Amino acid sequence: MSLSLPLDAQPADPALDGIIKLAVMAVGGQGGGVLTNWIEGLARSEGYHCQATSVAGVAQRTGATIYYIEMAPGTVAAPVFSLAPSAGDVDIIIAAEMMEAGRAIMRGFVTPDRTTLIASSHRMLAVSEKTVPGDGMASSEEVKAAAELAAHKLVLADMDAAALRVGSVISASLFGALAGSEALPFPREAFEEAIRAGGKGVEASLRAFAAGYELAKNGEPEKAAPLRPAKAEIVAPSGPKGSRDAYSSLEARIASLPEPCREMARAGLQKVVDFQDCAYGGDYLDRLEALAAKDSVDRHFKLTREAAKYIANAMAYDDVIRVADLKTRPQRFRRIEAEMKLADGNLLQLTDYLHPRAEEIIGLLPATLGVKLDADPVWRARIDRWFNRGRRIRSDSLRGFLMLYVLGGLRGWRLKTLRHRMEQAHLDDWLKMVSGYLPDRYGMAVEILKCRRLIKGYSDTHARGLTKFDKVLAGARLVEGRDDGPDWVARLREAALKDEKGADLDGALKTVESFAGAG
């Protein structure tokens, strides 16, 4: 039987403070194993005891994964290390992605009393973020705010970009950041020696190491403020003089719009003129000015701003002509060459994946003929047979380019087409609904404008967008008389953007019907 001992008879072993506990939180495939090997090699070469573990297996297939390392000075006799990190008991966390940093904080591995958090601020989106029809991206800002509170010391920078810039991968820049953070009691040279001992891609890794080291020491340089608005004001479009003059007079009309809307109106005007021509741009401004006339300063010109955005999007719809036009522009070729890092002497072969359906072909026909053929099942089937198949077009070849070039040149024809007539009718109905709410139900008008966001995509996706748009507008009519009507329209719209099939929207509509339908 042991005797009763005084409370402080068991002071913690001071050597325990010598154990360094380090976890790497990564996404499978990011090279967490390589990083772990370097750290382990480093610790051993510096005379430390070191133990590393990982959970290999399916986790390496793009899932969240974790590597764990413990080390202690070689003077300690046979230390016993743990094989897994514990909440509140980690000295260094290396997170190879922003949300993995968030996961480390969530799991309690980052604590203000001791943890150095070295994290890359870049994002690798999870599937759940990407599949949302709207914007489902998680907030890096929230994680950053939490990291600032949770970490004893925080090193946060885009380590992925830093590595890519010098032709390497993130494991090397993170290793550099670990060195730069000075969380380990080893000199920079020892880190670099560990990379050399690894023997693979040494030079590129050392470059990324240096970049990461630099980021940990001095942080990321402040990003220059975007130049875009200023530039857009100064740089006039190039082109034939007649068009340039016509455009200047359109620009003059923008100057008479309320100041808070001008930037958006200018972007909108450029979009529709680019889509068609200056006359079409004039139509755009006509529509916009009609709404602006009913707007006021005490509403902060919200209506005009939204109208500038969504009328432009509605007028510059996605038809075959626009797609072909965009695909044959020199800017596109230049962008792709840059994206593919085309070096001197390399060639680029470009294959576009197109799949026109009967609807697209009929939409290109003159309105009256188009309506007729569209109503005739024999003709529809015939056109479908002729055109409806997947086409791989080599747009870098003369044949392929010419085909798209000719299609893209049909802009003069566009205003006569069936598709244009349909788009105009839809646009007019929508704007009529918006105007109907003015001046008394200003909030409703703004929200109905914003619903245009629901219409996007091509073929079935486009049709689904239209259906959602119609449903939300039908829901809007149910609540148009209520004070919280605009809020409900916003809620319906958000729901419609959440999932593909519209289950969330249908649920929200049911709620609306339950209180508004009866009344």
Partner 1 sequence: MAERSFKAEVEHLRKGTGDTFTGEGILAITKALLENGVGYVGGYQGAPISHLMDVLADAEDLMGELGIRFEANASEAAAAAMLAASVHYPIRGAVTFKGSVGVNVASDALANLASSGVNGGALVIVGEDYGEGSSIMQERSYAFAMKSQFWLLDPRPNLTSIVKSVGDGFALSEASNTPVMLMVRIRSCHVTGSFETSDNVPPPLSVRDALSSPMRDFKRVVLPPMSYAHEHDKIDNRWPAAETFILENQLNERFGPDEGKVGIVCLGGIYNSVIRALQRLGLADISGNTSVPLYVLNVTYPLVKSDLLDFCDGKEAVLMVEEGQPEFIEQQLGAMLYKEGRSTRLEGKGTFPRAGEYTGQIMLDGIDAFIRQHAPDLLPGKVLAPNAPKPELPDLSQTVPIRPPGFCTGCPERPIFASLKMVEQDLGQHQITGDIGCHLFACLPPFEIGGSTMGYGLGPASNAAFDGGGEKRAISILGDGGFWHNGLSSSIGNMVFNKSDSVAIIVDNYYSAATGGQDIPSSRAKNKSKSTNNPITKALEGAGVKWIRQIDRTYDVTKMRATIREALTTDYDGPKVIVASSECMLNRQRREKPLRNKAISGGERVEVPRFGVDQDVCTGDHACIRLSGCPSLSLKKLDDPLRDDPVAHIDQSCVGCGNCGEVADAAILCPSFFEAKVVHNPGGLESWLAGFRTKLISWLQTRRAGRRLTFNAEGV
Binders in 168-187 for partner 1, by CB under 8 A: none
CB of 459 closer than 8 Å to CB of 466: no
Q: Which is nearer to partner 1, 357 or 482 (CB)?
A: 357
Residue 117 pairs in a beta bridge with 93, 154
> Would you tell me how many other CB atoms lie within 10 Å of the CB of residue 453?
17
Does the footprint of partner 1 cover residue 438 (CB under 8 A)? Answer: no
For residue 58, the Cα-to-chain-centroid distance in whole angstroms is: 27
127 binds partner 1 (CB under 8 A): yes
Of 117, 194, 188, 201, the C-alpha closest to 159 is 117
Least distance CB 218 / partner 1 (angstroms): 27
Smallest distance, partner 1 to C-beta of residue 217, A? 27
x-or-dash string of contact with partner 1, 291-320, rule CB under 8 A: ------------------x--xx----x--
Shortest Å, Cβ 223 to partner 1: 12
| Residue linked to tokens 């139900």 | 441
What is the sign of the dihedral through the CA atoms of 386, 388, 392 and 397?
Answer: positive
Structure tokens at 329: 């522009």
**In the structure encoding, which two tokens stand for residue 469, read together?**
């748009």
Write the single-letter amino acid at 461.
T
Of positions 397, 413, 481, 507, contacts partner 1 by CB under 8 A: 397
Q: Which is nearer to partner 1, 180 or 408 (CB)?
A: 408
Cα–Cα distance list, 431 to 127, 313, 491 (Å): 36, 13, 21
24-53 binders of partner 1 (CB under 8 A): 27-29, 40, 44, 50-53
CB of 485 to partner 1, least distance (A): 22
Applying CB under 8 A, the span of 97-105, 187-195, 365-373, 481-489 interacting with partner 1 comes to 97-105
Contact 233, 265 (CB under 8 A): no
Within positions 457 to 496, which residues make up the interface with partner 1, using CB under 8 A? Answer: 457-461, 465
Q: Which residues from 269-288 bind partner 1, rule CB under 8 A?
A: 270-271, 273-274, 277-278
Is 377 near partner 1 (CB under 8 A)?
no
What is each CA distance from 212 to 157, 170, 394, in whole angstroms? Answer: 9, 9, 41
Rule CB under 8 A: is residue 405 a binding residue for partner 1?
Answer: yes
Total residues binding partner 1 (CB under 8 A)? 158
Distance CA 454, CA 460 (A): 14
323 binds partner 1 (CB under 8 A): yes
Sites for partner 1 among residues 50-79 (CB under 8 A): 50-66, 68, 72, 76-79
